[in-house]
Amino acid sequence: MSQVMSINGAIAERAEGDRSGLGRMVVIALALLLVVTMAISMTTGASGASASTIIGGWFGLVPESEVQAVRDYAVIYNIRLPRMILGVLIGAALAVSGLLMQGLFRNPLADPGLVGVSAGAGLGAVGIIVLGTTMLAPLTAFLGIYALQIASFIGGLITTFILYRVATRSGQTAIATMLLAGIALGALAGAVTGVLVYVANDAQLRDLTFWGMGSLSGANWTKIMASGPIIVVALAVSAFLGKGLNALTLGEATAGHLGIPVQRFKRVVIVAVAAATGASVAVSGGIGFVGIVVPHLLRLVIGPDHRYLLPASALLGASFLLMADAVSRLIVAPAELPIGIVTAAVGGPFFLWILLRKRAALAW
């Protein structure tokens, strides 16, 4: 037992091996970090517009010409603000869906991007872009601005479900089977996507190219309206999954003995993963590795308790993507790099580092 002073001055006992206090502190720290990264995101970009100037202008603190103010207003409200909000939503969605998959498969290497779920979601999106005006026209007319999101969600859902059925037998997931099944599913989705791209016309090809780059650059309020609610609901649901995911780490049978309705619980997790992945892929294409890097780093710091990992991953995922986006805008300004390149440049080496560290333990 070590004794620590709590805020009200009383001496609280903290048991050895209890990292819940640390978990709470890290969540608070990450919330503060997100405020900072959001501010950085708002003030970074090719244009000289600055959020502080705008706000200062409101209160008459910063003298500005009217023309300048109007231009800055447009930059901030029509470009940077939606981009920042989309970055927060997608960063959180990617990190949390990675964490949920790792908990579901009881495996720290699971990630929607690695095991074909993103490819499946991408196939759904490409299907709408290419066939949305012909074969699937009634569907797109019915779903309106949500067509892309819902098609991605369904693509991701089907892929996750197949993956789970193939890789898991009586509650145990074989790592090798999961990764190989993921490669197969990814390749299959890629092949069908290839066929769709092949039959696409010139206008659709242009849309596909912009979509596929993995970028937040096309962020606008319509995209936020379409993907935001889905992501917010998926994140809100996952906030309640911490206890169950903790119990699931003991195996499905034991989780059941602890009172978790395992089959229903797993279905909720799969739907949340597919919704979060689908809604992000639909608006930003493939942004890889956030779901691996963020939960893994946090596990090193606060341990594997999902009650703290879930909010911490959402917060750090959002900050991580905002920073990657800032880098992608600044590094080749005034042009910009697709953000997927930045996350892969950080995530690829990080993933190799995990493999090196775990080589002995994984043994496959």
Partner 1 sequence: MIHVDNIAVEIGQRRILDGVSFTARSGQVTAIIGPNGSGKSTLMKALCRDYAFSGSISINGRDVASMDLGTAATLRAVLPQSSTLPFPFTVREVVALGLTAGRPGVSLAALRRLPDEALARVDLSGFGGRFYGELSGGEQQRVQLARVICQVWEPVLDGVPRFLFLDEPVSSLDIKHQLMIMDVARQFAAAGGGVIAILHDLNLASMYADQIVAIRNGAVAGAGTPAEVLTDGLIAEVFDCPMRVGAVPTGNIPFVLPQSAQRFVAAAPQSKVA
Angle between helices 117-131 and 175-199 (to 10 degrees): 10
Residue nearer to partner 1 on the CB measure, 78 or 172: 172
Helix, strand or coil for residue 169? strand
Residue nearer to partner 1 on the CB measure, 5 or 360: 360
How many helices (H) and strands (E) the chain has is answered by 16, 4
From the CB of 114, what's the least distance to partner 1, in Å?
A: 16
Residue 338 vs residues 125, 139, 216, 342, 346: alpha-carbon distances, Å: 18, 30, 8, 7, 14
The residues binding partner 1 (CB under 8 A) are: 1, 15-19, 106-108, 243, 246-247, 249-251, 253-254, 256-261, 299, 303-305
Residue nearer to partner 1 on the CB measure, 217 or 254: 254
**Which residue's structure tokens are 């405020």?**
35
The first and second tokens of residue 73, run together, are 């207003």
Residue nearer to partner 1 on the CB measure, 16 or 66: 16
Give one DSSP letter per residue of 72-136, joined into a string.
HHHIIIIIIHHHHHHHHHHHHHHHHHHHHHHHHTT-TT--TTTTTHHHHHHHHHHHHHHHTTTTT
Q: What angle do CA 108, 112, 116 make, to 5 degrees?
A: 120
Residue nearer to partner 1 on the CB measure, 67 or 360: 360
From the CB of 40, what's the least distance to partner 1, in Å?
A: 32
From the CB of 289, what's the least distance to partner 1, in Å?
A: 19
Closest by Cα among 218, 222, 268 to 248: 268
Residue nearer to partner 1 on the CB measure, 260 or 324: 260
Taking the C-alpha atoms of residue 29 and residue 268, their distance in angstroms, rounded to an integer, is 29
From the CB of 173, what's the least distance to partner 1, in Å?
A: 9
Taking the C-alpha atoms of residue 266 and residue 104, their distance in angstroms, rounded to an integer, is 7
Residue 119's CB is within 10 A of a number of other CB atoms, namely 26
From the CB of 246, what's the least distance to partner 1, in Å?
A: 6
| Amino acid found at 169 | R
The first and second tokens of residue 13, run together, are 């006992």
- Residue length, the chain? 364
Q: Please enumerate in sequence order all residues whose Cβ is within 8 A of that of 240, keeping only pairs 6 or more positions apart, or say none.
A: none
From the CB of 256, what's the least distance to partner 1, in Å?
A: 6
Residue nearer to partner 1 on the CB measure, 23 or 285: 23
Q: How many CA atoms lie within 13 A of 334 on its CB side?
A: 3
Residue nearer to partner 1 on the CB measure, 177 or 249: 249
From the CB of 214, what's the least distance to partner 1, in Å?
A: 29
From the CB of 19, what's the least distance to partner 1, in Å?
A: 7
From the CB of 315, what's the least distance to partner 1, in Å?
A: 20
Residue 33's CB is within 10 A of a number of other CB atoms, namely 18
